[in-house]
Amino acid sequence: NAGVTQTPKFQVLKTGQSMTLQCAQDMNHNSMYWYRQDPGMGLRLIYYSASEGTTDKGEVPNGYNVSRLNKREFSLRLESAAPSQTSVYFCASSDGAGESYEQYFGPGTRLTVT
């Protein structure tokens, strides 16, 4: 089991460029999440998908879009990157979206926008 995988591991973008961060899980989990972590801070939720076919905004959704491609894959798109989006992005998955399900995290994508 690879768990949660993310690609790429590192990325440098220029302001205004677009890119898609990919996330996949092989645990047959129903729910998937995208978080960002700025230096010295805890993680903040960007978007989540409680089940295949649904997506919802989290705390900081502005500037991002998501696609739940299928049960395994959940992608995060930056349409026009800004320096404020320089961060580490973590994807997570869980068996359910209820309060008693733990989330499993990927290794992160380190994004720098210049």
Partner 1 sequence: DAKTTQPPSMDCAEGRAANLPCNHSTISGNEYVYWYRQIHSQGPQYIIHGLKNNETNEMASLIITEDRKSSTLILPHATLRDTAVYYCIVKIYNQGGKLIFGQGTELSVKP
Can you give the binding site for partner 1, defined by CB under 8 A?
4, 31, 33, 35, 37, 41-45, 48, 50, 56, 58-59, 88, 90, 92, 94, 96-108
Closest to partner 1 by CB, 57 or 79: 57
Dist CA 100 CA 42 (whole Å) = 21
- Cα separation, 86 vs 111, in Å, equals 5
In whole angstroms, how close is the CB of 69 to partner 1 at the nearest point?
A: 18
User: Within 10 Å of residue 75's Cβ, how many Cβ atoms?
Assistant: 17
Cβ closer to partner 1: 48 or 78? 48
Both tokens assigned to 13: 């973008």
Minimum CB distance to partner 1, residue 100 (Å):
6
Task: Work out how close the CB of 74 gets to partner 1 at its nearest, in angstroms, rounded to a whole number.
Answer: 13
Which CB, 17 or 30, lies closer to partner 1? 30
Write the CB contacts of 64 (distance below 8 Å, at least 6 apart in sequence): 34, 46, 47, 76, 77, 78
